[in-house]
Structure 1
Amino acid sequence: MTSLSLSLARGTLTSPFKRAGRPGATLPARHEVLPAHRIAPGPLAAYREVCGFSGTSTLPLTYPHVLGFPLAMRLMTARDFPLPVLGLVHTWIEITAHRETRPTDELELIVYAAGLNPHRRGTEVTMVTEARIAGELVWESRSGYLARHRTETGARSAPSGAADRTAPSSPPGLPAVAEWRLPTDLGRRYGAASGDRNPIHLHPLTARLFGFPRHIAHGMWTVARCLAEAGHGPGGTSGIRSVRADFRAPVLLPSTVTYATEGTAFEVRGGERVHLTGTVTRSD
């Protein structure tokens, strides 16, 4: 958590000197690594509580991403990273568990930048996080982060190595399953559990500095809460092997949103506005 706070501070200082969309920009080739370690039970318990995970001995599918996020921030705020971290928008995430992981597992985390792609609204970078146990790849995530700037190509984004794929879309009018009332302190509670204390999530005043009318919920909290809700069905969360989520619009705090799902698809919406869409894959 300390390194994440330092990275946020460094990003504030380095961002004004970077220009998204610069021709010939390249990504750093290095990997950030956190050696194999035991997971601290206190933060994990707080994370489970704020996201709604319960009744399982497995690690929440989203939690290795949280553990690896300080490494991603260290990389994205480095001097040789081509995009300014201030203003980067998390646009999508794909997570795959190759096998179940447990809180007692000693995870080695590896984070690297896999691709820099043109997007109709700017430039999108794909960040990869891997979790390994004794060298075996047991879990991985890929995330898209968008730096907005003027473009002339109108290109659509594509995850690195998957240019022929399009983001999954949920069928219109998914049936509502649950209603969530999100309190004004949700961002601070999730920030305390995850270490992600980005000012846009903490308070209306700090969020307004970045152009938001009020503070907003963490996107990764929204994904985790959806998985926790999906885990109430047959198989629980331990039966979910992968998820793809696309962030459509920020969730202002406080607010009331609806979780809707049918089959493998899910979405979070507030009134007619869709905030997040996604799909899950369960094990056979």
Structure 2
Amino acid sequence: MAITQLSAAPSLTTLYPKAVLSGLRRKGGDLPDTEYSLAGVRVDPAHLAAYNRVCGFRLGDELPATYPHLLTFPLQIKLMAAGDFPFPLAGSVHVANRITQTRPLRLGDELELRAHVANLREHPRGKQFDMISQALVGGDVVWTDVSTYLRRGGGSGSSSTTDSTTDSTTEQRREPPAPTAVWSVPEDIGRRYGEVSGDRNPIHLHKLTAKMFGYPRAIAHGMWTKARCLAAFEGRLPGACTVDVRFKLPVLLPSKAGFAAFPADDGWRFELFGARNGKPHLEGTIS
């Protein structure tokens, strides 16, 4: 794999429109054999505080496990904006995310960030691929993020695979658990999280822009829903853990979401669902 060392973080202001517009001409193909690396990264305390407030974490010098996803996001978009990336950003659905950290990251850590894409595979509804990001301290990988995307269209048609999203009609009939908390998700959370994360996908910002992509209203970012759920466990998790989630139906804004958590043999299980209709938004485990 070709490793390209970057001297500065890519500009999302420039890359995001390019990734959205140039991708409209893409029709598939192989994934690029490229990894981007950015060394000497230090966390801005003000940015961390803004992220913590938007996602519900307490203020402190320990990074939430989901926070480094924001640091690697510009590298991910640079990969997806490149001419050799086979799929458009618009229409590539984030269906799962798994984060593993071997120890807590802190404000004083100097990080090296890396990102590449791998594991292109068939899916009943199209193709899936993994965006893999890492954070290193002193040359050691201490944090790994695997974001799985689904590109719909031309799928295998097989229903035997276990690596897939569940049919939404089945999900809607499922009886949700009793919530341990009910959260009001405000109409502007997509814009607020977009301001902090740099992820200003139109589907998250306003009702009118979301309608252009087939949504009745703006929807919350999947990584915001994961972070909000993780914040509910703050103070109860070990420094080394894996947080694995499957994104189900989107959270339309505004809405009320029910959250439920259950102890498991090796950690926790948790769910986020519509407080009024029970439709599932997210299912996850912490181990």
Aligned to 2:70: 66
Q: Deviations over 1:156-196 (max 9, x none)?
A: 3649xxxxxxxxxxx96433111100111111111111111
Q: Deviations over 1:4-59 (max 9, x none)?
A: 23222112221121114xxxx21111101121221111111100001011165311
Q: 1:214 aligns with which of 198, 202, 217?
A: 217
Deviates more, 1:119-128 or 1:48-57: 48-57
2:26 counterpart letter in structure 1: K
1:276 counterpart letter in structure 2: L
Q: What is the CA-CA distance between 1:140 and the residue it aligns to?
A: 0.4
Q: Deviations over 1:200-224 (max 9, x none)?
A: 1111011111111000001000000
Q: What is the CA-CA distance between 1:97 and the residue it aligns to?
A: 0.4
Q: What is the CA-CA distance between 1:272 and the residue it aligns to?
A: 1.8
Take 1:54 and 1:70, find their aligned partners in 2: how far apart are those partners?
A: 25
Take 1:201 and 1:107, find their aligned partners in 2: how far apart are those partners?
A: 29
Aligned to 1:87: 91
| Contact residue 96 and residue 139 of structure 1 kept, 8 A | yes
Aligned to 1:228: 231
In structure 2, relative to structure 1, the CA distance for the partners of 1:127 and 1:185 (3 Å cut) is same
In structure 2, relative to structure 1, the CA distance for the partners of 1:55 and 1:86 (3 Å cut) is closer
DSSP 3-state at the match of 1:230: coil
Aligned to 2:4: none
Take 1:16 and 1:195, find their aligned partners in 2: how far apart are those partners?
A: 21
In the alignment of these two chains, the number of paired residues is 263
Aligned to 1:5: 13
In structure 2, relative to structure 1, the CA distance for the partners of 1:136 and 1:172 (3 Å cut) is farther
Aligned to 1:259: 259
Take 2:39 and 2:144, find their aligned partners in 1: how far apart are those partners?
A: 16
2:230 counterpart letter in structure 1: L
TM-score (norm 1): 0.87
Q: 1:272 aligns with which of 268, 278, 281?
A: 278
- Note the residue ranges of structure 2 that are not aligned, 5 or more in a row: 1-8, 165-173
1:6 counterpart letter in structure 2: T
- Note the residue ranges of structure 1 that are not aligned, 5 or more in a row: 160-170
* Deviation >6 Å, runs of 4+: none
Aligned to 2:202: 199
Equivalent residue runs for 1:118-129 within 5 Å:
118-129=122-133
Q: What is the CA-CA distance between 1:238 and the residue it aligns to?
A: 5.0
**Alignment of 1:181 onto 2:184:** yes
Take 1:202 and 1:13, find their aligned partners in 2: how far apart are those partners?
A: 18
Q: Quote the sequence identity (%).
A: 44
Take 1:274 and 1:147, find their aligned partners in 2: how far apart are those partners?
A: 21
Equivalent residue runs for 1:17-166 within 5 Å:
17-20=25-28, 25-54=29-58, 56-154=60-158, 156=161, 158=163
| Contact residue 108 and residue 131 of structure 1 kept, 8 A | yes
Q: What is the CA-CA distance between 1:250 and the residue it aligns to?
A: 0.4
| Contact residue 125 and residue 157 of structure 2 kept, 8 A | no
Aligned to 1:165: none
Take 2:66 and 2:233, find their aligned partners in 1: how far apart are those partners?
A: 13
